[in-house]
Amino acid sequence: MLCTLAGGAASVWYAWQVWQRRDLDHRIDLALSALREEDSLDVVHDTIAQLVGRPDWHSELRLLEGGVLLRGGDPSAALQAFDSVRNDGRLRVSLFLMGGEALYRLGRLADAESIFLNLAQEHPDESKVHRWLATIYHDFGSIDSSMAELERLAQLRPGDFLAYRLMGRTYAGDYRRFDEAAVQYRLALERNPPEPDRSDIIREFAQCLVLLKEFAEALDVLKGMSDGPLKQLLQVESYRGLGEFDEAQRVLDRLAATEPQHQGVLLLGAILAIGRGDGQAAVPGLKKLLEQDPHHYVARHQLSLAYQSLGDSAAGKAESERMLESKKLHQRHDELYSQVIDRPSDADVRLDLARVCEQLGRTDEAAHWRQAAEQTRQGALQDLHSP
């Protein structure tokens, strides 16, 4: 009788242990998913509380703790936590994804790239790996390689808007091929992105349409964008492009009432003023804009036109000469950036680009390209070549 009871108790205890392990496994899966998808951390904190004091779950505990640190903006502490996580089994993918992200956040792009490349070889269908590789390659100016990763991401997640939006931004911002960018933005919008992404995509799409001089279509597209200064500025540019200057001025006046110092308000207000023959009204806004960005050559050109319209030919000539100097710097910037795209392993061209950025007052961009030059010299990227 006692043996029967003891055996039954052992069975119950064993069943309880099995259930508890399965429950913890499920909780850990939910916690890792929350970290991966950037959802609420509640389930992560609850799972960590369940794992504390259990030596056999040490790797799982440290991985989740590192994930929380990473989400909290402390990649260095996150890496320390990841160091004690075993890198096999079901934890490997999450460990490599978060570890690679931590290295990227610390500016260690070469190490991050190495981790993501290894993970891509092991799990070629892991979409986040291709997203991170696209980001790293873009940071180094290897735009062709970045685009190849985005195309792979679109294949893996055809119903997701993200890859199409990023390809649109790449075509527009890097290749300056606005017609192809517009195609990608349409594909992104067809996938019903949520706000605020939807409005951001509409804005970027409308900017391409304005540059393509498709002003009527731009106005139509902007109807789906939430209200705000950027929407109104694009409407002003579109109405102006259509020759509807009164409507352009009406929209701009409404925006100027709440955002009088916005750079777009200052520039477009000056352009419209010069267009209606009021150069005097254009001068203060253009001067203010040029105080903020002395190499804004479009504003400098408009200031030259304003002075000429006021009969001050000497001032107009002086501003025109300064405009040409700034324009040459911008052209040199664009030439060097094209070289960066064509020469993904050339550190010197990245350093040259950093110097031009400094001349233009773009300190953040200059720092970015100096870092890219340094890591490229160290052999940061091993296989950056056109797809």
Helix and strand counts by DSSP (H, E) for the chain: 20, 0
**Does residue 15 lie within any of the structural domains?**
no
CB 279, CB 273: distance < 8 Å: yes
- C-alpha torsion angle, residues 228, 231, 236, 237 (rounded to 10): 150
Higher pLDDT, 24 or 378: 24
Model pLDDT, residue 303: 97
Distance (Å, whole) CA 370 – CA 385: 21
Query: Does residue 367 sit within a domain?
Result: yes
Q: Coil, strand, or helix at residue 159?
A: coil
For 302-334, write each residue's pLDDT tens digit: 999 999 999 999 999 999 999 999 999 999 999
DSSP code for 151:
H
Q: Judge contact between 162 and 187, C-beta under 8 A.
A: no
Average pLDDT, rounded, for the chain: 92
Q: For residue 110, what pLDDT band results from cuts at 50, 70 and 90? A: confident
Largest Cα–Cα distance of the chain, in whole Å? Answer: 114
Rounded to whole angstroms, the Cα distance separating 184 from 179 reads: 9
366-381: b (≥16 Cβ within 10 Å) or e: bebbbbbbebbeeebb
Residue 16 CB contacts under 8 Å (≥ 6 apart), including other chains: none
Give the pLDDT band of residue 7 (cuts 50, 70, 90).
low
Band of pLDDT at residue 387, cut at 50, 70 and 90: very low
| pLDDT band at 377; cut points 50, 70, 90 | confident
* pTM of the full structure: 0.87
Find, among 377, 325, 322, the residue nearest to 356 by Cα: 325
Range of the domain at 371: 343-380
For 380, the 3-state DSSP assignment is coil
pLDDT at 246 over 70: yes
Report, as an integer, the average pLDDT of 261-268. Answer: 96
Q: How far is CA 11 from the centre of its chain?
A: 55
> What is the mean predicted confidence (pLDDT) over 84-110?
93
Share of the chain above pLDDT 90, in %: 84
Question: Is 369 contained in some domain?
Answer: yes
Token pair of 297 as six digits: 């050559």
> What is d(CA 172, CA 36) in angstroms, rounded to the nearest whole number?
29
For residue 284, say if its preceding peptide bond is cis, omega within 30 degrees of 0: no
pLDDT of residue 19: 45
Residue 350 located in a structural domain: yes
Residue 227 within any structural domain of the chain: no
364 within domain boundaries: yes
Identify whether 348 is part of a domain.
yes
Pick from 167, 150, 89, 98: which is nearest to 122 by CA?
A: 89
Q: Is the pLDDT of residue 213 over 60?
A: yes
Number of domains in the chain: 1
Structural domain includes residue 238: no
Establish how many alpha carbons lie within 13 A of residue 343's alpha carbon, considering only the half-sphere containing its beta carbon: 17
